[in-house]
Amino acid sequence: MKTIIEPFRIKSIEPIRMTTEEERRQYLKDAHYNLFLLQSKDVIIDLLTDSGTGAMSTEQWAAIMRGDESYAGSPSFTRFEETVRDITGFRHILPTHQGRAAEHLLFKVLCQSGQTVPNNTHFDTTRANVEYTGARALNLPVKETFDTSSKHPFKGNMDLNALAQLIEDLGGDKIPLVMLTLTNNSGGGQPVSMANIRSVSEICKAKKIPLFLDACRFAENSWFIKEREAGYSDKTPKEIAREFFSYSDGCTMSAKKDGLSNIGGFLALNDSELASRAEEFLLLMEGFPTYGGLAGRDLEAVAQGLKEVLEEDYLNYRIATMTYLADRLEARGIPVVTPAGGHAVYLDGLKFLPHIPPHQFPAQALACELYIHGGVRSVEIGSLMFGRPDPESGEEIPAGQDLVRLTFPRRVYTQSHVDYVLEVIEEVYARRSEIAGCQISKQKKILRAFSAHLERITAPSH
């Protein structure tokens, strides 16, 4: 059959409250044109993030009832530990309440001021946690990462020459670890190839530098390898995952993504000495090592979710949804990052609204318009998130890329929801020349995108 369907039926539903354009205009004005400040009840289709927003299966809900809430030695932890070990092959499994807590533990035990941590592209929390230790977080993506229309199958890859050169220049002791983010979220949800992971691993091994994977979307990355890389079409997503984990020394994980759970994460690693030091901080900040900031029921949900996320029918449907939307947008001439990412479709704000200069936040203006027109909440990944005002002149320094991320929660929306989103984008595109830019009226120094207040510039700038 040509049609790929959702490989599940719906047993429990959450109603969506329909709103009018007029109401949404008011809600957005009240939220100071910042979509993070909207109430979720005022959103029709919520594509803000795929983190912790997925739907759980009947088996996960059943597992939740089995959750054993003992402080120490809970069988729920044993099930969690066995599942993570079975997929990753790592010896030590430290549960954490979410991904950034695992990052915090890892960098605390490995990084020092004056060192550098390379990554294909650091996610914001990864960067912030590296920098918190005084080390430098450096992105080394391949050049195709930033070419929004390049059809390269693995735009998440790391630039191998740049990595080798960096190690040569700094010396291995200045690099406490190398990270690879699968898939590369900040670079468009693009996958990293097995060949690239293997090569990074060889470079690291030769210099005795540990390699860690940021494995938040490891299953989606496995699927891309299966579909796009020679020699993997007959392997299962789990076999593929086992192989790439085997090239690394450990991983950080947010179970809110490919753990198919609403909360949870872990740090997994082989080095016993490092694990024991990380465990000290785990005790201090998260909890006893057999629950680490989670309830027994959460550990159960994650253990079950990690099994379900590797099912081929699920991954096939998941990636097909992104491809469906991105391909149709591209066919209509709408500027979209291609190929589609694993968890999201990204619109190119600079090309969508060329009449709005970068310092007037075209991607944010577009995200606002998608909400007003159809109640679709997306997230700006551009100058509002990564730009900053010049410390002297106060003028905005744009980020270079200005994207709108349409991030799909797992197993939540149906095909007709996707068609609705497509229609909303098409209609906004048809009257794009009427859309005006934004300016910031209030902002914080750190992570301003979450709380900034904006105003819309009433007359278009051309």
> Which residues here bind ligand F0G, judged by CB under 6 A?
49, 51, 98-100, 123, 125-126, 181, 185, 214, 216, 254, 256, 265
Q: Please, what is the minimum distance in Å from the beta carbon of residue 85 to ligand F0G?
A: 20
193 within 8 A of 157, measured Cβ to Cβ: yes
In 3D space, the residue among 432, 430, 454 whose CA is nearest the CA of residue 355 turns out to be 432
Report the DSSP pairing between strands 396-397 and 388-389. antiparallel
Instruction: Determine the Cα–Cα distance for residues 42 and 62; give it in Å rounded to an integer.
Output: 31
Q: Which is nearer to ligand F0G, 163 or 263 (CB)?
A: 263
Q: Please, what is the minimum distance in Å from the beta carbon of residue 300 to ligand F0G?
A: 18
Specify the 3-state DSSP secondary structure of 305: helix
Instruction: Determine the Cα–Cα distance for residues 163 and 184; give it in Å rounded to an integer.
Output: 17
Q: Which is nearer to ligand F0G, 125 or 196 (CB)?
A: 125
Backbone angles phi, psi at 257, to 5 degrees: -105, -100
Q: Please, what is the minimum distance in Å from the beta carbon of residue 171 to ligand F0G?
A: 28
Q: Shortest Cβ contact with ligand F0G: which residue?
A: 99
Q: Which is nearer to ligand F0G, 49 or 88 (CB)?
A: 49
Q: Please, what is the minimum distance in Å from the beta carbon of residue 350 to ligand F0G?
A: 21
The H or E element that residue 254 is part of is strand 250-254
244 within 8 A of 182, measured Cβ to Cβ: yes
Reading the block at residue 52, the tokens are 């912790």
Q: Which is nearer to ligand F0G, 49 or 383 (CB)?
A: 49
In 3D space, the residue among 303, 269, 296 whose CA is nearest the CA of residue 93 turns out to be 269
Give the number of other Cβ atoms within 10 Å of residue 453's Cβ.
13
Q: Which is nearer to ligand F0G, 214 or 380 (CB)?
A: 214
Q: Please, what is the minimum distance in Å from the beta carbon of residue 125 to ligand F0G?
A: 5
Q: Please, what is the minimum distance in Å from the beta carbon of residue 87 to ligand F0G?
A: 17
Specify the 3-state DSSP secondary structure of 380: strand
Q: Which is nearer to ligand F0G, 49 or 139 (CB)?
A: 49
Q: Please, what is the minimum distance in Å from the beta carbon of residue 291 to ligand F0G?
A: 17
Instruction: Determine the Cα–Cα distance for residues 261 and 419; give it in Å rounded to an integer.
Output: 26
Instruction: Determine the Cα–Cα distance for residues 412 and 94; give it in Å rounded to an integer.
Output: 29
Q: Which is nearer to ligand F0G, 216 or 240 (CB)?
A: 216
Q: Which is nearer to ligand F0G, 321 or 360 (CB)?
A: 321
Instruction: Determine the Cα–Cα distance for residues 434 and 363; give it in Å rounded to an integer.
Output: 14
Q: Which is nearer to ligand F0G, 238 or 405 (CB)?
A: 405
Q: Which is nearer to ligand F0G, 130 or 421 (CB)?
A: 130
For 16-151, strand residue ranges (E) read 45-46, 92-96, 116-119, 136-139
Reading the block at residue 94, the tokens are 């430290």
Q: Please, what is the minimum distance in Å from the beta carbon of residue 64 to ligand F0G?
A: 19
CA distances from 35 to 31, 32, 396, 440 (A): 7, 8, 20, 14
Q: Please, what is the minimum distance in Å from the beta carbon of residue 28 to ligand F0G?
A: 20
72 within 8 A of 288, measured Cβ to Cβ: yes
Q: Please, what is the minimum distance in Å from the beta carbon of residue 462 to ligand F0G?
A: 33
CA distances from 146 to 167, 188, 190, 224, 348 (A): 23, 9, 11, 19, 11
